[in-house]
Amino acid sequence: MIVSILALVFLLILRVKTDLAVKIICSPLAALSKIIAAKTESVLRKFAVGLTMLTDPHLILIVYLQSVFLWIFAGVSGYLIFLSFDLHPQIWAAFIVLFATALGVSLPSSPGYIGIYHAACIIAFDLINSFGMFGQEVSKSVALSYSIILWSCQFFPVTIIGLYYLKKEHLDFKDISRGELEAKIG
């Protein structure tokens, strides 16, 4: 909850005082790498432009609450998959996996995050094992199996729904790859 509130505060600062937020993040990064700092600044400024669409405080609250709900839903679904593997860790273990996979998919990878998602999940299992949250040592093969099931539960529903709406809107992959999506929607 504290992390969520801090993230919201940072987003508000980024929206209202973009230069200050960029300085807070990029100044320490510049000491490590000017290239990383420059890329981070570019991403933050583009993200800040996107935040300008959120002008109504009521809308901001709705977006925030939906985001929190989706993160909780994803964590709980991960926990239910733990139970299906007859693993009974604390609920926080599911959120450790969620956090690790979210970080993992932010890295460049193959389409569908195949490989990087699973590696991040296995790393999260190693961390959970080191904290003793499973109450027993869970093998890498179980971690890999878990990661495949979790990935499938997250990837296929979204992909199937996306394909449905692609067809419903009379769009195809050629139009999207040629950048004609805006012309068809607009």
Average pLDDT of the chain to the nearest whole number: 89
Q: Place 185 in a pLDDT band, splitting at 50, 70 and 90.
A: low
Mean pLDDT of 84-95: 96
Say what the pLDDT of residue 155 is: 95
Say what the pLDDT of residue 61 is: 84
Structural domain spans, the chain: 1-55, 56-186
Residue 52 has pLDDT above 90, yes or no: no
Say what the pLDDT of residue 161 is: 96
Rg, the chain, Cα only: 20
Taking the C-alpha atoms of residue 154 and residue 78, their distance in angstroms, rounded to an integer, is 10
Say what the pLDDT of residue 184 is: 53
Say what the pLDDT of residue 134 is: 92
Mean pLDDT of 31-52: 88
pTM over 0.75: no
For residue range 134-161, list pLDDT tens digits in order. 989 999 999 999 999 999 999 999 999 9
Mean pLDDT of 1-24: 83
Decide if 122 contacts 140 (C-beta within 8 A): yes
Say what the pLDDT of residue 131 is: 92
Angle at 42 between CA 39 and CA 43, to 5 degrees: 90
Say what the pLDDT of residue 87 is: 96
Residue 2 has pLDDT above 80, yes or no: no
Say what the pLDDT of residue 180 is: 57
